[in-house]
Amino acid sequence: MSSMPAAPAPCPMGCSSLWSPRALPVNLGLLLTMLVLFTYCFYCLSGSCCQPLPGLGAAVADPPPGPRSAAVGSKRLPQAIIVGVKKGGTRALLEFLRIHPDVRALGTEPHFFDRCYERGLDWYRNLMPRTLDGQITMEKTPSYFVTKEAPKRIYNMSRDTKLIVVVRNPVTRAISDYTQTLSKTPTLPNFQALAFKNISRGLVDTSWSAIRIGIYAKHLNNWLQYFPLSKFLFVSGERLVSDPAGEMGRVQDFLGLKRVITDKHFYFNETKGFPCLKKPEGSSKPRCLGKSKGRPHPKIEKQVIQHLEEFYRPFNMKFYQMTGKDFGWE
């Protein structure tokens, strides 16, 4: 019996005892537990920790008070979307709306209902900023207005979605659209060559997207198959420039918001030739939109403009009739 080894003395938390061969079966488990905990802590400190480890409970998952608790609220699908139109003044409208404390808007265009629909609603929701109860989640993607599938897809998300369309004289809009393409492709043919199949016969090329987008009545008809007129607000792109506070008043009413954005928020910047914000969201400095918004247009011959005005007139009249609003483009 004297040859029997004595029971090991209790080991203070020291590394040597962990490596003692006789202690191995017990201490290997302890070592593995420590390894798991160490890996987890390292993972959390590196900023990648977002889900609680199974079994570790809410105490680990809850963020401590302080800067991390800024992630309050939840990501929701938008209750209101600026669906159009390209070059109508959609960026100005979104930036103006962002001043409102009850509006949280995605800064970029997600293109979910036209290009990324396959990614699914969870992907879309996850892009959204967090909102508190009572705040409205918004996004803007102007190409939705001319996307055949967009009305049905938005309806399937929620038939209560509020839809905002910023419209602008379709002739000026087409020139603005052309100016944008020209800035990226300097070798582009001139406006006239693209707008007409045959200018002497006044044959407009409706296959050119810069022309097609401006046939608002046709696109609206597609939307009205899914949404009643009461779900729409048509914002005048021209009035958004000449009277931003007045137009923003209508927008806030439509969204059921308190009229917080008023003429106090705007000033007219003579150099830019557009209204700018005195205090944009998250800043105390005045700010105008970027260089790509409100840029000079190339000079287009008067005859070309007149031809296009004639082309759009019946569509504009139809659009006024459908919306019950005269936008004064004649």
Residues known to be catalytic = 87
In sign, the C-alpha dihedral spanning 118, 122, 123, 129 is positive
CB of 148 to ligand PPS, least distance (A): 19
**Phi and psi at residue 271, in whole multiples of 5°?**
-65, -45
Q: Is 176 in the site for ligand PPS (CB under 6 A)?
A: yes
DSSP H or E run through 330: none
Query: 90 labelled as ligand-binding?
Result: yes
CB of 320 to ligand PPS, least distance (A): 21
CB of 44 to ligand PPS, least distance (A): 40
Among positions 17, 27, 161, 179, the unique one binding ligand PPS when judged by CB under 6 A: 179
Nearer of residues 111 and 152 to ligand PPS, judged by Cβ: 111
Which amino acid would we find at residue 222? N
Strand order in the sheet with 136-140: 103-105, 136-140, 80-84, 162-167, 232-236
Q: Is 83 in the site for ligand PPS (CB under 6 A)?
A: no
Query: 237 labelled as ligand-binding?
Result: no
Structure tokens at 307: 């031809």
Q: Is 219 in the site for ligand PPS (CB under 6 A)?
A: no
| Bond prior to 85 in cis (omega within 30° of 0) | yes
In this chain, which stretch among 47-55, 66-74, 82-90, 185-193 interacts with ligand PPS, using CB under 6 A?
82-90
Applying CB under 6 A, the site for ligand PPS has a residue count of: 18
Q: Is 274 in the site for ligand PPS (CB under 6 A)?
A: yes
In this chain, which stretch among 30-38, 214-222, 291-299, 307-315 interacts with ligand PPS, using CB under 6 A?
291-299
Q: Is 142 in the site for ligand PPS (CB under 6 A)?
A: yes
**How far is 153 from 117, CA to CA, in rounded Å?**
8
Query: 141 labelled as ligand-binding?
Result: no
Which string of b and e fits 141-179 if b means at least 16 CB within 10 Å? Answer: bbbbbbbeebbebbbebeeebbbbbbbbbbbbbbbbbbb
CB of 119 to ligand PPS, least distance (A): 22
Query: 296 labelled as ligand-binding?
Result: yes
CB of 249 to ligand PPS, least distance (A): 16
Query: 168 labelled as ligand-binding?
Result: yes
**Which residues have a Cβ under 8 Å from the Cβ of 149 and sit 6 or more positions away?**
113, 114, 117
DSSP H or E run through 244: helix 244-254
Nearer of residues 218 and 293 to ligand PPS, judged by Cβ: 293
Nearer of residues 135 and 140 to ligand PPS, judged by Cβ: 140
**Which residues have a Cβ under 8 Å from the Cβ of 92 and sit 6 or more positions away?**
240, 241, 244, 274, 275, 289, 293
Q: Is 88 in the site for ligand PPS (CB under 6 A)?
A: yes
Among positions 136, 204, 220, 289, the unique one binding ligand PPS when judged by CB under 6 A: 289
Strands 274-277 and 266-269: antiparallel
Query: 152 labelled as ligand-binding?
Result: no
What is the secondary structure of 274-309 as a DSSP string? EEEESS-TT-SS-B---TTSSPPPPP--HHHHHHHH
In this chain, which stretch among 8-16, 61-69, 292-300, 321-329 interacts with ligand PPS, using CB under 6 A?
292-300
Structure tokens at 4: 């029997």
The footprint of ligand PPS (CB under 6 A) covers 86-92, 142, 176, 179, 240-241, 274-275, 289, 293-295
- Binding residues, as ranges, are 87-91, 168, 176, 293-297
- Binding residues for 3'-phosphoadenylyl sulfate, as ranges, are 87-91, 168, 176, 293-297
